[in-house]
Amino acid sequence: MADTSILKSDDILEALKDVYDPEIPINVVDLGLIYDTDVTADGDVSVKMTLTFAGCGMGPQIAQMAEDKISEIEGVGEVDVEMVFDPPWNPEMISEAGKLQLGMED
């Protein structure tokens, strides 16, 4: 098994920057859809994320894309991506980089 001591939540977030909501050209991290990441000593990863709205039909596909990207990281064991809707997502959760990509001004 690979040494997971260097595997961090930052690694997970970096991988998730390759996951996009198909309807919005911004990655799920910059959209503010990632609420929490946790990495155990064994390299198991859990992620709590949300969607821009609870009824989004792309939710299962986005979660699967997230799981696939995380699984590609060396040292990762089991991956659990949980969709949560509390607190509800709102546009204020978009990062500054995401706002720039969308042309949003503060």
The full set of domains in the chain, from first to last, is 9-87 (3.30.300.130)
Residue 1 pLDDT grade (very low, low, confident, very high; cuts 50, 70, 90): very low
Interatomic CA distance for residues 99 and 93, integer angstroms: 10
- Residues 51-92 have pLDDT tens digits of 998 888 899 999 999 999 999 999 999 999 999 999 999 999
Q: Give this prediction's pTM.
A: 0.89
Query: What element of type H or E holds 47?
Result: strand 45-49
Mean pLDDT of the 12-32 span: 93
Q: What is the DSSP letter of 88?
A: P
Of 12, 10, 5, 31, which Cα lies nearest the Cα of 20? Answer: 31
Closest CA to 81 of 103, 61, 104: 61
